[in-house]
Structure formats: structure tokens, C-alpha cells
A = this chain, B = another copy of it.
Amino acid sequence: MARRTKAEAAATREALIDAAEEMFMEHGVARTSLEQIARHAGMTRGAVYWHFKNKADLFHAMLDRVHMPFQNLFDEVEGPTVDNCPLEAIRLACIKGFARAEQPRNKRVHFIMMYRCEFFSDIDPQAMQEEISKDILTVLLKYFQLAAENKQLTSLSPEAATELFYATLSGLFTHWLRQSDNYSLETQGSAMIGNLLHLLRSA
């Protein structure tokens, strides 16, 4: 083989990431070699080292395809209708997030992060999760504070409500990830956070 067109090369790159995803999923990150990834994509390590610096770089590229900050979910939701309904905004944003998470690629990558990857070189799942956690917590706090100002929150402080809600959300998420397939975030997850928000809403 030899040089391909730009489009073909880009396709190769994507195919390599696809292959990496599948192999990471099946055998774990540490235990899949670049050789295996290349073969699974129908290439050799030459292609891998052309497109990526090393395994960590390939891993980052895989993450980049699915990254989505939490605030975006609210931006998609927030219309004039929910502006004075922060708790409802939270609910709808979560449902949006669930729909995204259920997309196969998103689920696979998050699963890899959670159960198929331990830290190496500059990859540190703990730190990454901590970053996501902070992001979600600050955004949630904003909306729970708004709810408290509007007297829509029970006796709990906005801070306590935020931490409680976040714990539930992340616990739900990891539990869903762990299940094989017989668990739908969009239905059962939405129900759960609906229940929690109901409990948090002042009567």
C-alpha cells in the first residue's frame, strides 16, 4: 500500500479509533496491544504510529469523540417556559443526558473509562471523573440555589440538595453502565430522578 487520499486517511484514523474502542471494551486498555488494534482495523502498527503518538494519544482521541460538558444539556433545554422552574430544568437536562448516554458509542466509551481502564502515562480516570464531577456539581448548585430562592425546595439547603442529587445521579449512571443491557436509563433512570426531584420539591 501507499499513500491514500485525505478522505481515505481520515477514514483510516476513525477506523483505528473504532477498533481501539472495541478491543479496549473486550480486553481492557492495558491488555490490548497496538498490534491487536491495528490488526482488528485491518492495518499494521505503522498506521497507528502515523496517526497517533502512542496508546495514550489514541486513547485521548477516543475520548474526544464523546466529550460533552454538562451545561450544554441545560442550554438545549432552557426556554422561556422553564426559566422559573429550575427543578424542571434539571429534570429535562438529565433526560437529555440520558438520551445521549444511551448512544452506543457514548456508552462504550464511558464503560471503558469505568471498568476497562486503569491509569497509565497521562491517563488518569480518577482525575477525569473528578473533573466531570466538579463540572456537574457547580452547574447543579446554580439551579438548586435558584430553586431555593423561588421557595421551590424543601428544608434542605441548596448545597445539601446538590450533593444528594449528584450522588444519586452518578450512582444511577455507574449502575446502569454495569448492567448488560436490560436496564434503560431513559425510562427507569428518568423515573428515579423524577422521584428524587419530587421528594426535593416543597409541597
Contact = CB atoms under 8 A, between A and B. Distances in A.
Interface residues of A, number: 37
Given A28-B118, A116-B118, A119-B115, A170 B174 contact: yes
Interface string A141-176: 000000000000010100010011011111110110
Nearest to A179: B130
Contacts of A174: 170-171, 174
Contact of A118 (B118, B164, B188): B118
Contacts of A125: 115
Interface string A163-203: 11011111110110010000000001001100110011000
A171 B160 contact: no
Interface of A: 28-31, 115-120, 125-126, 129-130, 133, 154, 156, 160, 163-164, 166-172, 174-175, 178, 188, 191-192, 195-196, 199-200
Given A170-B174, A174-B174, 19 more contacts: A28-B119, A30-B120, A115-B125, A115-B126, A116-B118, A117-B118, A118-B118, A126-B178, A129-B178, A130-B178, A160-B192, A160-B195, A166-B171, A167-B167, A167-B169, A170-B171, A171-B171, A171-B172, A171-B174
